Amino acid sequence: MAEVKRVERPLSPHLQIYRPQLTSITSILTRITGNGLIVGTLLAVWWLLSAAISPEYFALANGVATSWFGDLVFTLSAWAVWYHYLAGLRHLYYDAGKGLDIPTAEKLGWACIIGSVVLTVITIILV
């Protein structure tokens, strides 16, 4: 049987020099916020369904929904809604063939991040 000679090869260069870009981070955040909204939706649906089951079960669900955990989930959900909305508008702008150059894409990325935080704060103040 022939003996196989193994060649020592270096890791791919991109693993050593890659730096995450704002456009890739905002794309990943769009996917995370879209999936993360499920948690807030499940908590809200559980709260609504518990009201139909019994007063005791509603007291439990209401206790969770109005606790620090519920506040955190609903605040992050509000941010996720705003971020996902603004990222969707940015994507529509890209689909029109505009804003695809790197400086504009980075400005739009920052606009999504900062805008979602500002809109979340406004939402919390108003609600």
CATH of 32-126, one of 1.10.1660.10, 3.40.50.920, 3.30.70.20, 1.20.1300.10: 1.20.1300.10
Average pLDDT, integer, range 32-61: 95
pTM score > 0.85 for this model? no
101: which 2 tokens?
């150059």
Q: How much is the pLDDT for 48?
A: 96
Q: Which stretch of DSSP H or E encloses residue 65?
A: helix 55-65
pLDDT tens per residue, range 52-88: 999 999 999 999 999 999 999 999 999 999 999 999 9
Q: How far is CA 97 from the centre of its chain?
A: 24
Query: Domain ranges in the chain?
Result: 32-126
Give the contacts of 99 (CB within 8 A, at least 6 positions apart): 90, 93, 105, 108
| Residues making up the chain, counted from first to last | 127
pLDDT tens per residue, range 1-36: 667 777 777 666 666 677 788 999 999 999 999 999
Residue 91 among known ligand-binding residues: no
Q: How much is the pLDDT for 120?
A: 97
Q: Phi and psi at residue 7, in whole multiples of 5°?
A: -105, 130
